[in-house]
Amino acid sequence: MNATFNKYIGELQQSRVWRSVFRGGTGTSTLRNSMAIQQNVFLHLLSTKVRKRMLEFNATWYLGTLTLGTFGILVITGILLMLYYHPSAPQAYADTKDLQFVVSSGQFLRNLHRWSAHAMVFLVFAHMFRVFYRGAYRPPREFNWVIGVVLLLMTLLLSYTGYLLPWDQLAFWAITVGSNIASAVPLMGDKVRFLMLGGHFVNANALLRFYVLHCMILPLTTLLFVAIHFWRIRKDGGLYARHSEPDVVMTTASARPPL
Amino acid sequence: MAEEKKDRIQDAANPGIDRREFFVKMGLGSMGIAAAGTAVFGYQFLSPNVLYEPSPVVNMGRPESYQLDSVTLDVDARIFVIHAQEGFFALNAVCTHLGCLTAWKPEAGMIACPCHGSKFNVFQAGKTPGEKIEGPAPKPLPWLKMSLSEEGDLIVDRAEEIRPQQFVRV
């Protein structure tokens, strides 16, 4: 039975269709294993080789991966919530209440979206602390730390723009306060606030702008920077492993000329 | 070498620039102009030209409807209409700290902001109405221009701030 199954799998993997999709081919050689990662559009951002020790929980506490996980949950639940939500005043509030009380699983999805958002902010900070205290931000990984700071900013902006969407009192006043903080920017503060809100008050224009930012611009920008962040891990020599870094890397990393 | 020399534009005024450099500069220059234009158009597009926001001038009704020594908050207009001994005046009810709507607290005899605890004076002697008593607010609540319409209604222009202590007497 098993032999028959393996035979069919083997034949399938040799077929023209399979080979057109997975060009790397099959096998257990190091080359084949590397190619399985390298030649896959989803996996090619990752390192082709990883130290086994770095895959254990203790090495990273999986904080970056968990952050990506919450982002994935947020994208999926967010798209589902979009199916019932109209970004118009006062319909937005009614839709939010419908999601709470009328739509099947609406409350579950909304809570999942909200708690994942909180968890993502927490995990981003935890990830940054972990990287900071391990010294993993040091050369040659210093630029990836900068990308990480951009991603922190993206996370906070996503949180902030999402806060207005329920269109309740809490949302309204939080965004009023937040946009007034933005207007404290020297010289162009009031203009920044005007562009942000699309008017002088938090009103229908502001709701629509925040909706577009929250559902389109910020998630796509975040995705782009996540891709760069992962690709940089590979380019900077994989995950930071303190005790296995060769001494020569540790001592000369900061003096290394740019590649 | 001979090829490169042939490529040079024989321009007496500008002998140092060759064709490649010329086209690179032209390309970068036109892309720069296009980028600047995009920035201008983007800025203009993002600034709404027409706003469907309420008029800054509001009619607050008959003066008789406000009792002496009363503070009335209009939540929609976001202003206080105050009938003091000296006459009528209007204060902007939006906190000067971060824009929350303040409220009149009759038991404390002052205006207070629910967000961060700023308090403002109304009737206390020796202090200007609108002046901050405590809290993070950087400025007093502004006085707004108030006038009487031909029918005798109180009219407040929320876009026009005036110096304090200018009362409307009816």
CATH code, B116: 2.102.10.10
The whole-model pTM stands at 0.83
- Residue from A170, A172, A175, A176 whose CB has the most chain B CBs within 10 Å, to mutate: A176
B114 and B40 housed in the same domain: no
Tokens of residue B160, six digits: 């026009």
Q: Is the pLDDT score of B13 beyond 90? A: no
Residues of B with CB under 8 A from a CB of A: 43, 46-48, 51-53, 97-100, 115
Residues in B touching A201 (Cβ below 8 Å): 53
Sequential pLDDT tens for chain A (259 residues): 788 998 998 888 888 888 888 776 667 788 888 888 888 888 888 887 888 888 889 888 999 999 999 999 999 999 999 999 999 999 999 999 999 999 999 999 999 999 999 999 999 999 999 999 988 898 889 999 999 999 999 999 999 999 999 999 999 999 999 999 999 999 999 999 999 999 998 999 999 999 999 999 999 999 999 999 999 998 888 888 765 555 545 555 555 555 5
Domain contains B52: no
Contact indicator for A155, A71 with CB cutoff of 8 Å: no
**Element (DSSP H or E) covering residue A211:** helix A204-212
Output phi, psi for A185, to 5 deg: -60, 130
B120 and B76 housed in the same domain: yes
Tell if the CB–CB gap between A177 and B51 is shorter than 8 Å.
no
Bridge partner residues of B58 (DSSP): B156
Residues of the domain holding B143? 57-162
d(CA B93, CA B95): 6
Nearby residues of B39 by Cβ (< 8 Å), 6 or more positions away: none
Contact indicator for A238, A50 with CB cutoff of 8 Å: yes
Residues in A touching B98 (Cβ below 8 Å): 176-177, 180-181
B79 and B149 housed in the same domain: yes
Residues in B touching A173 (Cβ below 8 Å): 100, 115
B66 and B147 housed in the same domain: yes
Nearby residues of A179 by Cβ (< 8 Å), 6 or more positions away: A193, A196, A197, A202, A206, B99
Query: How many domains would you assign to chain B?
Result: 2
B61 and B126 housed in the same domain: yes
Whether ipTM tops 0.85, in short, is no
Domain contains B82: yes
Domain contains B168: no
d(CA A171, CA A175): 6
